[in-house]
Amino acid sequence: MSTHKKLKRTPDAMWKAFVSAAINERKLPGWIRIIFRADFIVAKCYHPWSYVSHTGCEDIRPLLEKLHDYHIDLPVDLAIRPFEHIKDAF
């Protein structure tokens, strides 16, 4: 958040960076589990009838854990990269 917030990137861009970093570190399943077990987050962001509210996304965890079989190196700075390059130009 510290790199994205100072450049006024959207919450969506910050979420994408978070997911990319989590995949790179092989921690996405655990982090998703923590986030979607937090009742205050689920209540604030999802309708009571939503998939997330009903399942807590527990059924996708085994699928996400299969990503651990692969070496993944996603960029976490896509939303801020153009701004970093502008600084390099001056």
Cα distance from N-terminal residue to C-terminal residue, the chain: 25
The span from the CA of 3 to the CA of 14, in Å, is: 9
Q: What is the pLDDT of residue 17?
A: 82
Which amino acid belongs to residue 16?
K
Q: What is the pLDDT of residue 79?
A: 56
Please check whether residue 5 is in contact with residue 83, taking contact to mean a CB–CB distance below 8 angstroms.
no
Structural domain boundaries of the chain? 2-89
The span from the CA of 65 to the CA of 72, in Å, is: 13
pLDDT in tens, the chain (90 residues): 555 455 556 777 778 888 888 888 999 999 989 989 999 999 999 999 999 999 988 999 999 999 899 998 887 766 555 555 555 434
